[in-house]
Amino acid sequence: MLDDDLAALYGVTTGALNQSVARNVARFPSDFAFRLSPEEADALKSQTVISNGGSGGRRRSTPRAFTEEGVAMLSSVLRGPRAVAVNVLIMRAFVQLRRAQGQYAELRQRLEELAGRVEGHDELLSHILQALDALEQPPRTLSRPLGFRPPSPGSIPSARGSDVATRGRTP
């Protein structure tokens, strides 16, 4: 979280918050609180579009960012009932974020398992769909039609040279 957001939550000015941190440097190592680089500060200012503050949004230094541990340490530097209440709320928010992150990690793992199960089935599903498509289409009929068809005139055998016509007769 940034120093100006924390200052608004704690009900103090950003200068007072940063002054308290500067007076207690040993409590805020670089993994608890750090200053943004000028490039990061410029990018942050361009994202918010409107600069805040009575001095036209100009700061003498870049914003300070606090990690979860740094926010927890602020409660020992900033005293008062509001500081305690705000710190409890912020810690609860961090717990909810960690819980949500765990749920998303579990969901991602389940999706990867499902993708692994389905991965080998693509070819099988393709074959099944092709078979279903083939069943939808009527079969090609290459056989002759059913029923009686009279023979064509040239295919009828003549009675003259056949054994049936000459059987029992003498020529």
- Could you read off the pLDDT of 57-116 as tens digits, one per residue? 567 788 999 988 898 888 788 878 888 888 888 888 888 888 888 888 887 888 788 777
Let me know if 151 is exposed, middle or buried by CB neighbors in 10 A (0-12, 13-18, 19+): exposed
Residue with tokens 């993994």: 31
Residue 28 makes CB contacts below 8 A (sequence gap 6+) with 21, 70, 73
Please report which helix (H) or strand (E) contains residue 65, including its range: strand 64-66
